Every structure is written in structure tokens, then in C-alpha cells.
Amino acid sequence: MKKFTYLLLAVLFASFLAACGGASSNTTSSGTYKVAVVMPSAINDLAFSQSMYDALMKIQAERGADKFEVAVSDGVFVVEDAAAAIRDYASKGYNLIIAHGSQYGASLKEIAPDFPNTTFAWGTAGDTFGLPNVFAYEALSQEGGYVNGVMAAALSTSGTIGVVGPIEVGDAKLYVDGFKAGAMAQNPAIQINVNYIGSFSDVALASEAAQTHAAAGADVMTGSAQMVVGAIGVAEQQGILWFGTQSDQSSLAPKIVVASQVYDWTVVINDILDLMSKGTLGGKVYAVSLANQGLLIKFNPDYSLPAEVKTLAENTIKGIQDGSIKVEVGQ
Amino acid sequence: MLQEFFSTTVLIGILASGIRLATPYLYAAIGETIGQRSGVLNLGVDGIMLMGAFSAFYVVFRTENLFLGLIVAMIVGGLMGLAMAFISVTMHAEQGISGIGVYLFGLGMSDLLFQKLVNNVETVQGFPEIHIRYLSDIPYIGEIFFQHNILVYLAYLLVPIVGFILNKTTFGLKIRAVGENPQAADTLGVNVALVRYITVTVGGVFSGIAGASLSIALLNVFQQNLTTGLGFIAIALVYFGGWRPLYVMAGSLIFSFVNALQVWVQVLGIPIPSDIAVMMPYLLTIIVLVLSAQRARQPSALSKPYMRSG
């Protein structure tokens, strides 16, 4: 028992030292950033979390790991745990802490004022709480949804499209609404069946929803969030075309994925870093869009998309970029 | 719109997907029924399922051998059941709390192993659908009942087998005796600890198969927290079914049919808010639980550790 007590003391002492070490490194030389990110699912979920991780890795590759240090806490779906991690990173002297999930907002609002020299960013959201050290970012995912919808309607021969949505909120709802608008614009007679399964992670129900869409006659499907792997599996089995969003989902089913809307947060993070170097620690709301290249449509190279549909998609992208096509959802 | 709802496509769709959806619940709930009839409440079902799901997935991912994957899931599930038996029978631990411990262990461990060993969204080729000759050609009936993968058929086969063992065999009598009055059973020479070790371990094996039925038969992927609390619904279904395998099966089917129904309700565009629709199966479970609580009597010694007195 005595041994155990000593051991415990030693561990406590060591962690105390580590904490001190962290705090003293708060001041970093200019051009060097310590970035921490907290996200709700895995960094390789082929969806929301991966989109942020990929962006950070891209910036790290450009700037070098010594200039751009990245710490990741992924799979933090419990908000209280995320709040603890955010606070922990802030007290360890990270310069930029990204809370990648709209559910983390309330925690950030409490924590950010305690660390006025640290920059926080969160999304998808449009609110900085009026705090000088908080950035917010959101995605106009309805734009890519619209482009995907146009292609889906052009490719559907059965005239029925199935949508597997998670919960009817945030960028998932924007994407689905944009997708519907695009498909209707291309073919007003198209039948679009939408199903929200009430979860971001229930793969089994997503799979069953896809089975149901197939039975209802859908020959093209789309969906949003990390549970869609269940739906993509069904689509692949039944030879149904799939449109992805958030990350490039081509690798999951190369035969049936037509295209994916990809979130590229690089533009946002680079601008935040730029502002930070000028002494602005927050206050700005970003929206990634097709126009600012924060949203990209990635065509699956393994799927032979008919040339006229590809042209149609490219024209739609141009139209949204120059404003001649208005995607009027989520306003 | 309502006419559309009662079309044969939709009805067949609901029944077929209900039968499919019920499979993992059935394995887990039948396994839990055996354990509870012997007096052990195992709340770790979901964690064991996750470990079963991951190990089956991983073995199939590496070897492409489905039966090896299934067997490994059974072994892993059995070992976790054995651990639960050790904690609750030998160590006399509070069963509710230790079950939660087993659940959290499975949840964390399966995710850790997934991240360390796979670390990517990967898919495997799972058990294919088997169209049973002649039977699957029967109009309507064939589509509903006879076009599923082998784990679906086995789940339903398990129900009468377990029912028979519990009600008609000496071993079943011992299980029930240990669950009702371990003191009396002990006096009559029944080895209480051994019976409980066997039932909880077998329950673990079934939970392992439940997990495998998701990861290598129905979904063919693995993700962090793949089961999303499915094991807890399975435990509720044991109460729902009043600790009788046939009724547990009925409960699993009702829950799954309602779940399939709500999916169709949305697909057909019937104007019910999606949040209300997804609540339906859970709401139903709560209502039936409340109603059946008056009726069914749980095993008297459920969740009580047995210590020989004197």
C-alpha cells in the first residue's frame, strides 16, 4: 500500500511538472503556431472531422511541422469531455484551439474569456458571441448540394432519388435542402424521398434507410454525416449511384460514387493565422463556399461520368460562383 | 399518399427490413435472457457486442474468412462473458455497476483497437444473402422471410432451441432454480456458481454474434460505437418479453417493425416531423415495458449475488 502511495505521488508530481512546462511555453516566436483541435468523430471518418484534419495536415505540409504543430483530440462526442480538453489545451499554451462541432459552442463561450491571449475557432456556426478571441466558421453546403442535385437528377433514370440525412439541423439540413433544390431545378418532375434517421452515428439505421430507398425505387442516393458508410454499403451492393458530401467518399465505393462535395477549411485556417499574426485574435465569421474555394466538387476519377453531365455540373458551379444561380435555401 | 402506404411494396419492405433489423437485438436479448433467468443481470451487453463486432470485422478484413471471423467474435464475446461471470459470481460485485464497467471497457477497447489496427473507413465482404430454394420464390412470403443472410436465419432458429433448453431440460430447470432460489438449489446439490458461469458466458457468446451480425453480415463496416446503444435496447427487450424467449422475439420484432415503419413513413413523405418519427420505436418500448411490468414476474434472485451462508 505504501509503495502505491509513493507511486501515486510520483505520478502527480510528474504531471505537475508537465503542466508547468506547458504553461511556460505560452509565448511562441513569431510565425510558429501550436494548434489544437477537438472533434466529435474520428479523424478518418470520411466526413465532418476528416475535413478539418485534412485541412490542418495540408497547412502543416506547407509550413512545416516545426512551424505548425498540431494536436488532435478526436472522437470526443461527450461535450463535457470536449470542454475539459479545450481548457486543457488553452492552459498548455496552444495559440489556436479549434472546437470542431456546433455542440461545443456553449463550452467555448465560457472558456474563451478566461484565456484572452488564445484564439478559439468553432463551427459550423455563425456566432462569435461578441468575444474578441473567437472565430466562427460555417459551410454553405447547400451550394455543393445543389450541384450534386443537378447531376443526380440528370443521371437518374427511375426518376426517384433517395436522401439519407442524419438530424434535421445545421449543414446537413442545408446540404439536403440544396440538393433538393438542384434536383428540382434540373427535373421538376423528379421524386425526392428524404429520410432523417435521427442520429449522426447509427450506421445500422442508415443502412436500413438506404434499403428502404432502394425498395422505393431510388437509383441515385446521397446523404450526410459519418453514418452514411452504412448507406454507401447498400448502394454499392445494389448498384445505386451515390453523391457524397463533407469529404471525398470515392475510395469507399469507387464504382458508384459519382462526386463528393469536399469541405476545404484551409482558406479559413490560413486567414485566421494571417489575422493572428497581425494581432487580431477573433471576431470574424467565415463561410466556405464554391466561390472562395472552401467548397470543392471532387469528381470520382473511377466513375465514367457522361461528358454532358460533367459540363452541366461545371456550368452550375460557375453559375453559383458568379451569382447567376442563386441557391435560395437556409437564408 | 396513404393508399401508397398500404401498397404491397411498402408492406413487404417493412416486414423484410423488420426481420433484418431485429437480428442483432435477438442474439443479444436471447443471450441476456439466459443469464437473467439464472439471476445475473449483465448490463455490459453493448460493450461485448462492440468487441464482437470489431473482432469479427478485423478477422474478416485480414483473412476474408467469414466463419473464422464469426468464431473469433464468439470467443471474444465468451471471454468477456466469462469476465463478467467472474466479477459478479466469484467476486460478488454489484451487477449493475460492473455491467456498466464491462460496457465502457468494450466501447473504449473496440475503438482503440480499431484506431490502432485499421484506422480507416474500410468495408468487408460480409455474409451474402441466401435465397432458400423454392421457399424464396413464393410470392410475397419469399421476399419477406427467405432472402436473408445466414445469421438472420440462425437468430430465429435460436429462439425455439433456447426456449426448449430453458423449459424442457434438466439444465434449464437448474438455470431457473438458480435464478429463483439459489439457496434451495444449492441445498439440492446444484452448483450455483457453475450454472451462472455457463449462462453468463453463453450470453457473452451470443452478444459477440450480435456484434458480428452487424459488422460482417448486415453493415460490413466497423466504426467507433457501431452499436449506438443497441445492447441496452436488447436488455429492455428481455423485460419486455417477460424473460421468455418467444416473447423476447416478439418484442424484438415489434420494435424493429416500428423502426422500419418510421423509415418508410419518412421516405413516402408522410408529413410527420422526422424527430417524432424516430421516437416511435422507443416510445413504444417504454409503453409496453410499463404495461408488461404489471404482468411479468422477474426471476426472484435477479441481480443478487449468491453467498453460501454458514
A88 and A185 both lie in a single domain: no
Question: Amino acid identity, residue B28?
Answer: A
A195 and A132 both lie in a single domain: no
Buried b (16+ CB within 10 A) or exposed e, A10-46: eeeeeeeeeeeebeeebeeeeeebbbbbbbbbbbbbb
Q: Which of A77, A205, A229 has the CB atom closest to B121's CB atom?
A: A229
Q: At what angle do helices B230-240 and B245-267 cross, to 10 degrees?
A: 130
**A273 pLDDT exceeds 70?**
yes
A111 and A207 both lie in a single domain: no
Domain boundaries of chain B, sorted by first residue: 2-295
A121 and A206 both lie in a single domain: no
- Give the domain CATH number at A241: 3.40.50.2300
Cell numbers for B143, please give them.
Answer: 421476399
Q: Is residue A4 part of a domain?
A: no
pLDDT band at A24 (very low <50, low <70, confident <90, very high): very low
**A28 pLDDT exceeds 50?**
no
**A18 pLDDT exceeds 70?**
no
Task: Pick the residue from chain B with its C-alpha nearest to A230.
Answer: B219
A116 and A169 both lie in a single domain: no
Residue A213 structural domain: 141-262+301-322
A123 and A272 both lie in a single domain: yes
A93 and A148 both lie in a single domain: no
A55 and A161 both lie in a single domain: no
- Asked if residues B20 and A208 have their Cβ atoms less than 8 Å apart, the reply is yes
Q: Is residue A28 part of a domain?
A: yes
Q: What is the tens place of the pLDDT at every residue in A87-142?
A: 999 999 999 999 999 899 999 999 999 999 999 999 888 899 999 999 999 999 99
Using DSSP, state whether B98 is helix, strand or coil.
helix
Write down the pLDDT at residue B214.
96
Pairwise CB contact (< 8 Å): A229 & B223: yes
How many domains, in total, are found in chain A? 2
Q: Is residue A227 part of a domain?
A: yes
Write down the pLDDT at residue B37.
97
Residue numbers of A between 246 and 305 with CB closer than 8 Å to B: 252-253
**A29 pLDDT exceeds 70?**
no
> What's the average model confidence in pLDDT over A227-242?
94
ipTM over 0.85: yes
A183 and A278 both lie in a single domain: no
Q: Is residue A296 part of a domain?
A: no
A194 and A310 both lie in a single domain: yes
Q: Is residue A214 part of a domain?
A: yes
> What's the average model confidence in pLDDT over A35-41?
94
Pairwise CB contact (< 8 Å): A230 & B219: yes
Write down the pLDDT at residue A27.
41
Q: Which of A196, A197, A212 has the CB atom closest to B264's CB atom?
A: A212
Q: Is residue A12 part of a domain?
A: no
Residues in chain B, pLDDT under 50: none
Cell numbers for A96, please give them.
Answer: 489556436
Pairwise CB contact (< 8 Å): B266 & A75: no
A110 and A155 both lie in a single domain: no
Write down the pLDDT at residue A234.
94
Architecture of domain B2-295: Orthogonal Bundle (1.10)
Asked if residue B169 has a cis previous peptide bond (ω within 30° of 0), the answer is: no
Q: Does B267 touch chain A (CB under 8 A)?
A: yes
> What's the average model confidence in pLDDT over A248-268?
94
> What's the average model confidence in pLDDT over A5-27?
48
Hey, which bits of A74-125 come out as E strands?
96-100, 119-123
Q: Which of B220, B230, B278 has the CB atom closest to A233's CB atom?
A: B220
Longest dimension (CA), chain B: 70
Q: Is residue A327 part of a domain?
A: no
Q: Is residue A162 part of a domain?
A: yes
A182 and A316 both lie in a single domain: yes
